[in-house]
């Protein structure tokens, strides 16, 4: 059934907009007038435009227009409605007016229409891989096959909420150091570009030999004032070149290798990738996806090529009959603690529960480590800024002290 966007006036004369599905524009007008809403303009939304807007044509930018929080909220609400006995189409129809995002409204309407035309829920959302991840698609498919869709949707909502919560905690911990860095750079730029040159002009008129720190400060100020724009261009070009290199296969491999070898950030990046691996694999196994297809899905979401290759190697070994622990031990990509817990899970027959525990342990470690690092980073940044500002003040005051001595 076609989907239409409309703008209209209600009985109070207030402008309203929305999305509605109907056989034709005439049917849309009749529906709106029945609801005491008077249409001003009606426009049909095509499939191609919808898919482009929601991300199907931009597969490298998942959730580019529809946020993870919106997906999570919709999933939780849909699980509640389906669990309460609502048919899937009715549940989706109920969610459309409650959705704030205009693009998401159109997407849900299109999914509902696909289901009404005979498609499964998994088949309908498979048309939008830029919005719904492979994990989401495969878990929904498993839920529909096993008749436990409401349970699967609840677990999907839990996964997305935990990912969002961890992301928010990390961003919150890094917000203050980032703000301090930006403010520090702005202050130093103003000092070196405007304040120091004016003071240097006063010193140059005195025909006096300036102290070494003062000469060094003036040199840095002149360079930043004369060539600052060039430094910005070089920095921008370097960032663009680096991004281009990272988007190549070899460049991405080298970048991921570098990230994992960083002294402080490397272990955190590894733990975060392993936590994502464990959480996703556990959810897939709990919902009836067998181990090999589940590993194929997880391989593409760990966001690190080294760990992805380790999982790819493990897939081959598991296919030959080895256990997951033995298959992952051949690589050095996974921490020893994770491997030991996987071994215990396989031996006890509770692999899914142990994978969830691995995810909980590593996510908590990452969160606490980031908070600890930022608590140490703050005084270090204040000390560095204090040293730089102190050097500037000393460089300006030294010639004044020397002039006072000459006068005396």
Single out the residue of 161, 73, 56 nearest to residue 110, CA to CA. Answer: 56
Cα of first residue to Cα of last residue in the chain, in angstroms, is 94
What would the pLDDT profile of 360-404 be if each residue is shown by its tens digit? 899 888 888 887 887 787 788 888 888 888 888 888 787 777 666
Q: What is the largest CA-CA distance in the chain?
A: 98
Rounded to whole angstroms, the Cα distance separating 101 from 336 reads 44
What would the pLDDT profile of 332-348 be if each residue is shown by its tens digit? 889 899 999 999 999 99
pLDDT(64) > 50: no
Name the DSSP class of 23.
Answer: S
Count Cα atoms within 13 angstroms, Cβ side, for 222: 8
Domain boundaries defined on the chain: 1-45, 178-408
Most confident of 86-100, 131-145, 348-362, 369-383: 348-362
Q: What pLDDT score does 60 carry?
A: 35
Is residue 61 within 8 Å of residue 55, measured between CB atoms? yes
What would the pLDDT profile of 194-205 be if each residue is shown by its tens digit? 777 777 776 666
Q: DSSP string of 220-281?
A: HHHHHHHHHHHHHHHHHHHHHHHHHHHTSHHHHHHHHHHHHHSTTHHHHHHHHHHHHHHHHH
Is residue 280 within 8 Å of residue 298, measured between CB atoms? yes
What's the whole-number mean pLDDT along residues 315-331? 89
Residue percentage of the chain with pLDDT more than 90: 6
CATH fold label, 178-408: Receptor-associated Protein (1.20.81)
How much is the pTM?
Answer: 0.63
Single out the residue of 31, 42, 54, 175 nearest to residue 111, CA to CA. Answer: 54
Residue percentage of the chain with pLDDT more than 70: 87
Pairing of strands 37-45, 15-21: unpaired
What would the pLDDT profile of 159-178 be if each residue is shown by its tens digit? 778 777 777 877 887 787 78
Q: What pLDDT score does 393 carry?
A: 81
Most confident of 51-65, 222-236, 271-285, 292-306: 271-285
Single out the residue of 295, 288, 278, 290 nearest to residue 345, CA to CA. Answer: 278
Mean pLDDT of the chain: 80
What's the whole-number mean pLDDT along residues 262-288? 85
Q: What pLDDT score does 207 carry?
A: 65
Rounded to whole angstroms, the Cα distance separating 325 from 334 reads 10
Q: What pLDDT score does 407 carry?
A: 52
What would the pLDDT profile of 216-255 be if each residue is shown by its tens digit? 888 888 787 777 778 888 888 998 998 888 888 888 888 8
């Amino acid at each position: 059934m076609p989907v239409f966007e409309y703008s209209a006036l209600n009985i109070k004369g207030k402008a309203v907009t929305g999305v509605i599905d109907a056989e034709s524009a005439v049917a849309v007008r009749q529906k709106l007038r029945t609801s005491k809403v008077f249409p001003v303009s009606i426009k049909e939304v095509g499939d191609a435009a919808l898919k482009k807007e929601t991300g199907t044509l931009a597969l490298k930018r998942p959730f580019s227009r529809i946020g993870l929080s919106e997906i999570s909220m919709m999933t939780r609400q849909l699980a509640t409605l389906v669990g309460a006995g609502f048919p899937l189409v009715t549940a989706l129809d109920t969610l459309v007016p409650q959705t704030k995002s205009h693009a998401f409204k159109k997407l849900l309407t299109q999914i509902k229409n696909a289901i009404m035309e005979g498609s499964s829920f998994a088949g309908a959302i498979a048309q939008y891989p830029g919005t719904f991840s492979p994990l989401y698609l495969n878990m929904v498919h498993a839920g529909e096959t096993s008749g436990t869709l409401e349970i699967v949707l609840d677990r999907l909502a839990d996964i997305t909420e935990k990912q969002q919560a961890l992301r928010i905690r990390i961003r919150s911990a890094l917000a203050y150091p980032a703000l301090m860095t930006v403010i520090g750079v702005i202050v130093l730029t103003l000092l070196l570009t405007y304040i120091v040159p004016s003071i240097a002009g006063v010193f140059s008129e005195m025909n006096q030999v300036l102290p070494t720190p003062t000469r060094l400060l003036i040199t840095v100020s002149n360079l930043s004032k004369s060539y600052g724009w060039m430094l910005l261009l070089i920095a921008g070009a370097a960032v663009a070149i680096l991004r281009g290199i990272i988007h190549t296969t070899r460049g991405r491999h080298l970048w991921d290798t570098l990230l994992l070898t960083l002294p402080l950030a490397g272990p955190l990046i590894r733990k975060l990738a392993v936590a994502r691996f464990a959480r996703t694999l556990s959810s897939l196994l709990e919902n009836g996806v067998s181990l090999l297809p589940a590993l194929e899905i997880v391989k593409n979401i760990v966001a690190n090529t080294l760990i992805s290759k380790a999982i790819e190697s493990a897939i081959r070994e598991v296919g030959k009959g080895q256990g997951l622990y033995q298959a992952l031990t051949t690589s050095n990509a996974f921490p020893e603690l994770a491997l030991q817990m996987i071994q215990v899970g396989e031996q006890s027959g509770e692999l899914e529960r142990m994978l969830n525990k691995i995810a909980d342990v590593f996510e908590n470690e990452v969160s606490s480590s980031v908070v600890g690092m930022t608590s140490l980073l703050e005084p270090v940044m204040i000390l560095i800024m204090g040293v730089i500002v102190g050097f500037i003040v000393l460089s300006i005051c030294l010639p004044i002290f020397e002039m006072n001595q000459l006068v005396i």
